[in-house]
Structure 1
């Protein structure tokens, strides 16, 4: 995801990076060329006049816009739910770190537990981004645990097991009351629920037929639209068709992009920044100086 300041409204008109224009540029060029060709031949196709008017396109456009709205809402629901689940990871991670640092008895070093919470967030990011399981975990977990994580199918769940075992050891040593241990276990359960929710989103895409219907409808509408406008607005047809097709193609591409919120496209979740924020927050609880926060990408305001 792009992290950058809000550009001026004039700059916003010409922004390319994150605008989806590079992704739909070839489709836009095709539709514009088709519109120009329809204007040149005055709506004739192999000496047959295509007698379309703007009336059916008004009705079709409304229906297609509603269909696009449903698709955008379905994709954005997945995107926003994923963001809420990562917010749960941050909140419960802070709670567990605070409890481990303040509620355990004297002589207990809670630093490995807090570092394990950071490792859990990194392992979640690695799993959903398809990165090596052990990436970034060195120095956060014991070496034998890192080796097990590297060979695990679900590395975050294995780290949760390690966190639970740490709590068990502290409780059995008498440094944590059973009531407080149970309370902290509920927070660990919340981390497990957040992991399961993200797995549900990642492993259950929207029905493919839904995407196919919307894709075909958008393209057929934009390809037939020049025939319905050429007799009414003449040489303005390519301009109007270009604007309408940009709207439909961009909305379709955006819904397809945010449907999988854990990807690396410009409009997906900024997982690296989220994990960096979690790490910084937990390291501050340990009294350490965190790494600088990611800064808005001001160098790409016009890109």
Structure 2
């Protein structure tokens, strides 16, 4: 995730990073500009089209409708991004709450504190990698019976780690270290882990409907590539930079919406999951240090 100062206008205006829409759209923008120059040349030097009374009226109306569609598209994508951030905020809070409760319940220097520190940290790390497509077992820490063999032959590693947390708590209950009342107190955080994972999977596995996505791209294409026929009558060769700027605005908004609709990746505008997981693991180490 790109960290920036929103008040530093000049730096942001002239800053271009690897995911910047201007950089990605530059080849297409050059093509639109060349296309508009070609139409302008034909109109001004070859065909001399009959001037229309209001050449920009139709595109003004269509542009208004297209703007509404893009606003809805961007809002839908941002809702997914913000919901993902809230879910990971819940992951953070529930991990801390579980650690604080276990730290208070378990005796000082008890071996299970280290087990829970590793398991809860592994769970968030595995969820992050799972949402990005693959969990690398080499990134996990192993403790006691929860070693590499424990996770072998399992496709859904976060569920396996969640099972390990439940197994460890159940073991402590059976030997009398945790009583029934304390087990109920811990249950809320345990349930929330699976609920949050399911919510993340819902966002990741349910993209914006394809028909809606394709329709907006078709409308942008038709809008931009018919625009020169009206604009050259009004602005002559100046239509080329004007049409290119309008294309950049519409296509840039669509590209931003595409990028943020899946907030769990590694793009500049995706959630800083690596930082969140690192911070939670540091919190766990501090809570369980006694």
TM score, norm. by length of structure 2: 0.91
224-233 or 89-98, larger mean C-alpha shift: 224-233
- Cα deviation for residue 7 of structure 1 reads 7.1
**Per-residue Cα deviation, 1:215-239 (whole angstroms, up to 9, x for no partner):** 1111111111122111112232122
- Cα deviation for residue 23 of structure 1 reads 2.0
Instruction: Tell me, in whole angstroms, the C-alpha distance in 1 between the residues paired with 2:285 and 2:131.
Output: 24
Partner residue in 2 for 1:293: none
Instruction: Tell me, in whole angstroms, the C-alpha distance in 2 between the residues paired with 1:182 and 1:119.
Output: 23
Distance 1:135 1:56, change over 3 A: farther
Contact kept, 8 Å, 1:133 with 1:155, in 2: the verdict is no
Contact kept, 8 Å, 2:146 with 2:164, in 1: the verdict is no
Partner residue in 1 for 2:165: 163
Instruction: Tell me, in whole angstroms, the C-alpha distance in 2 between the residues paired with 1:271 and 1:41.
Output: 53
List alignment gaps of at least 5 residues for structure 1.
289-303
- Cα deviation for residue 47 of structure 1 reads 4.3
**Per-residue Cα deviation, 1:259-279 (whole angstroms, up to 9, x for no partner):** 111122221222212211221
207-216 or 51-60, larger mean C-alpha shift: 51-60
Instruction: Tell me, in whole angstroms, the C-alpha distance in 1 between the residues paired with 2:176 and 2:152.
Output: 32
- Return the match for 1:232 from 231, 234, 238: 234
Contact kept, 8 Å, 1:51 with 1:228, in 2: the verdict is no
Partner residue in 2 for 1:206: 208
**For residues 220-299 of structure 1, what are the structure 2 equivalents within 5 Å?**
220-287=222-289
**Per-residue Cα deviation, 1:187-238 (whole angstroms, up to 9, x for no partner):** 1100110001011111111111111100111111111112211111223212
Distance 1:189 1:210, change over 3 A: same
- Return the match for 1:125 from 112, 128, 131: 128
Contact kept, 8 Å, 2:51 with 2:233, in 1: the verdict is no
Partner residue in 1 for 2:11: 11
Partner residue in 1 for 2:154: 152
- Cα deviation for residue 129 of structure 1 reads 1.2
When the two structures are aligned, how many residues end up with a matched partner? Answer: 286
- Cα deviation for residue 145 of structure 1 reads 4.0
- Return the match for 1:116 from 114, 119, 126: 119
Contact kept, 8 Å, 1:89 with 1:191, in 2: the verdict is yes
Partner residue in 1 for 2:89: 87
Contact kept, 8 Å, 1:50 with 1:227, in 2: the verdict is no
Distance 1:72 1:81, change over 3 A: same
TM score, norm. by length of structure 1: 0.87
Contact kept, 8 Å, 1:51 with 1:227, in 2: the verdict is no
Instruction: Tell me, in whole angstroms, the C-alpha distance in 1 between the residues paired with 2:145 and 2:135.
Output: 16
Contact kept, 8 Å, 1:126 with 1:133, in 2: the verdict is yes
Partner residue in 1 for 2:32: 31
Partner residue in 2 for 1:66: 68
**Per-residue Cα deviation, 1:8-63 (whole angstroms, up to 9, x for no partner):** 3122122211422222222211111112222222279x948386610011100110
Instruction: Tell me, in whole angstroms, the C-alpha distance in 1 between the residues paired with 2:252 and 2:150.
Output: 44
SS in structure 1 of the partner of residue 94 of structure 2? helix
- Cα deviation for residue 255 of structure 1 reads 0.8
